[in-house]
Amino acid sequence: MNTTNHLRVALIQSDLIWENPTANRKKFEKKINGLLDEIDLIVLPEMFTTGFTMNASAVAETIEGETVQWLQDLAQKKATAITGSIVIRENDRFYNRLLFVHPSGKIDSYNKKHTFTLAGEHEVFSAGTEKIIVDYRGWKICPLICYDLRFPVWARNTENYDLLLYVASWPKPRIEAWDSLLKARAIENMTYTAGVNRVGVDPNKYEYTGNTVCYDTLGNCLAKNNLGSEETLIVKLNKQEQTKIRDRFRFLDDQDTFILQ
């Protein structure tokens, strides 16, 4: 595997076309093909092919479906990894599943652990049970989904990961929590932390303002869009610099020891 000290990440903040995977794939492919910089990782929002819908039976795909094949083809063509979540049907269950697609076509997947009970997500989707750490170009990446952000123990950096990712459909009324918690996760886990949120208004009249953002190891903001507009943020992360900061302060060495059940 190729390793790199610098990781160039594209955070794509976009409106979504409701329950229309074909149209959303075309939209994101245009955005991805329009990237002028060389990129190592592209991050898309939660349920980027459909919007945050509970109509799973109408929009679900399989792991052999069109969107997965599209992701693999595009990742290979662009020589970059692409990640985001979609609705997956497997063994007569539905999952809000994040797919991390490597340029080789390899797929790492994560099923959303904390289903959003306020919207009834727990009644439609099965909850995941396993946290994953993706090894990519010498970086350890922890990908999580939206509501997971409210539960810090699940993101706890016991694996010495280098980048924490959240993909989301986080609405405007609670956007202050999004901003505060993402910064807190960066600080407490001493890691680069990025959150990609959608914009626009869905048919349920929920408004999304984006606030896609990336923080460094100490909680300093590297890039942010809180204007509610479609935009791709490009951030360049430096693993060596992060390691220097961790070695200097060593806050992670003082974590409490406990077992999550």
pLDDT per position as a tens digit, 204-259: 999 999 999 999 999 999 999 999 999 999 999 999 999 999 999 999 999 998 88
Q: Name 53's Cβ contacts closer than 8 Å, sequence gap at least 6.
A: 18, 19, 47, 59, 87
90 is catalytic: no
SS3 state at 205: coil
Instruction: Report, as an integer, the average pLDDT of 121-150.
Output: 98
Per the listing, tokens 């289903």 go with: 115
The DSSP symbol for 48 reads T
Structure tokens at 78: 């662009």
Q: Name the catalytic one among 19, 31, 121, 146.
A: 146
Mean pLDDT score of the chain:
97
Per the listing, tokens 């409490």 go with: 256
Q: Are 113 and 128 in contact (CB under 8 A)?
A: yes
Instruction: Report, as an integer, the average pLDDT of 170-189.
Output: 98
Q: Which domains does the chain have, with CATH numbers?
A: 6-252 (3.60.110.10)
Structure tokens at 180: 């505060």
pTM > 0.85: yes
Q: Are 100 and 81 in contact (CB under 8 A)?
A: yes
- 111-115 contacts: CB < 8 A, separation 24 or more? 112/85, 112/145, 112/146, 112/147, 112/148, 113/144, 113/145, 113/148, 113/151, 113/154, 114/147, 114/148, 114/150, 114/151, 114/154, 115/147
What does the pLDDT read at residue 37? 86
Q: Are 221 and 213 in contact (CB under 8 A)?
A: yes
pLDDT tens digit sequence for 81-128: 999 999 999 999 999 999 999 999 999 999 999 999 999 999 999 999
Which of the two residues, 259 and 133, has the higher pLDDT score?
A: 133
Q: Name the catalytic one among 46, 121, 142, 239.
A: 46
Q: Are 165 and 187 in contact (CB under 8 A)?
A: no
Question: Nearest-CA neighbor of 21 among 45, 50, 41?
Answer: 50
What does the pLDDT read at residue 209? 98
Q: Name 243's Cβ contacts closer than 8 Å, sequence gap at least 6.
A: none
What does the pLDDT read at residue 1? 54
Q: Name the catalytic one among 27, 31, 61, 112.
A: 112
Percent of the chain with pLDDT over 90: 96
Taking residue 83's Cβ as centre, other Cβ atoms within 10 Å add up to 27
221 is catalytic: no
Give the Cα separation of 10 and 24 in Å (integer): 17
